[in-house]
Amino acid sequence: MDSGDSEGIVDRLLANGTFIGGPPDLFDIAGDCQLGILKHFGMSSESKVLDIGCGCLRGGRKVIPELNSGCYFGIEPNKEMLEAGLEVCIDSSVVSEKMPSFDNNADFNFGIFESKFDFVMARSIWTHASKNNIAKMLDEFIEWREPGAKFVTSYHRARIPILGEYHGTSWVGKSHESDEGGVVRHSLRRIKGLCAERGLTVREFVDERFDFGTQIWLIVE
């Protein structure tokens, strides 16, 4: 879709009162960056991709057409947001051909699809998630990953380690249960600790080709 199409999509979503996941001028860029980083790390048409918090498919509308039928999976607790995305953001013919699967669970339950994944994408999810949420996602990743799988996520790094990071237990920001905005920060040291406890590694990945906004990409393996 060209920029005109993207502008029309954003206008229709906003007219419906749909939360689009960020500033309107970054809507198209966000999707391009999600597709770009997945392809950079080896996503092919045969890869099975799980998109956590797929929202109104600002990333999904770019990724789904690149995959074989039955290879895209999305979790989005906000049913109305996802339904708006399916109606506005992606052609019904593409959905029929590619047969993406979706679920509305709010528990980060990857096993609902009974499939293992080559890539898990969680853009702008750890920027709202508690440590308990992150730990649950890591546990699910371990159980439902294919050999060599990558968990591609993003976070806001704590400006002041320990004092500047989030220690609460609740989701912060807009969700299927709240219209109140907000973000959280985590220290890389603590995230490394959560990964190490599970035999995983994590590293920051900075590449201007895939960056937008102030979040930093993390690659978990």
Q: Domain ranges for the chain, please list them.
A: 3-220
At 49, list the tokens. Answer: 């991709």
Q: Average model confidence (pLDDT) for the chain?
A: 92
Answer positive or negative: Cα dihedral of 178, 132, 34, 204.
positive
CA dist list (Å): 26 to 33, 119, 204: 10, 23, 22
* Region 3-220: CATH code: 3.40.50.150
What's the distance, Cα to Cα, between the start and end of the chain in Å?
32
State percent of the chain over pLDDT 90: 76
pTM recorded for the entire structure = 0.93
**Residues sharing a CB contact under 8 Å with residue 213, sequence separation 6 or more, in sequence order:** 22, 26
What is d(CA 95, CA 136) in angstroms, rounded to the nearest whole number?
29
> Tell me, what's the pLDDT at 19?
86
Confidence of residue 161 (pLDDT cuts 50, 70, 90): low
8 Å CB contact between 140 and 158: no
pLDDT at position 163 = 65
pLDDT in tens, 11-34: 999 898 888 888 888 889 999 999
Position 159 confidence tier, pLDDT thresholds 50, 70, 90? confident
Three-state SS at 62: helix
Mean pLDDT of 97-116: 97
Structure tokens at 202: 């994590």
Each residue's pLDDT tens digit, 173-196: 777 767 778 899 999 999 999 999
Residue 2 has pLDDT above 80, yes or no: no
Q: Which two tokens stand for residue 214?
A: 């102030």
> Do the beta carbons of residue 119 and residue 47 sit within 8 Å?
yes
Whether pLDDT at 1 is above 50: no
Supply the DSSP symbol for 76. -
Beta bridge partners of 102: 74
Q: If you average pLDDT over residues 47-70, what whole number do you get?
A: 97
Question: According to DSSP H, which parts of the chain are helical?
Answer: 3-15, 27-40, 60-63, 79-88, 92-98, 131-144, 188-196
For residue 137, name the pLDDT band (cuts at 50, 70, 90).
very high
Taking 50 as the threshold, does the pLDDT of residue 4 lie above it? no
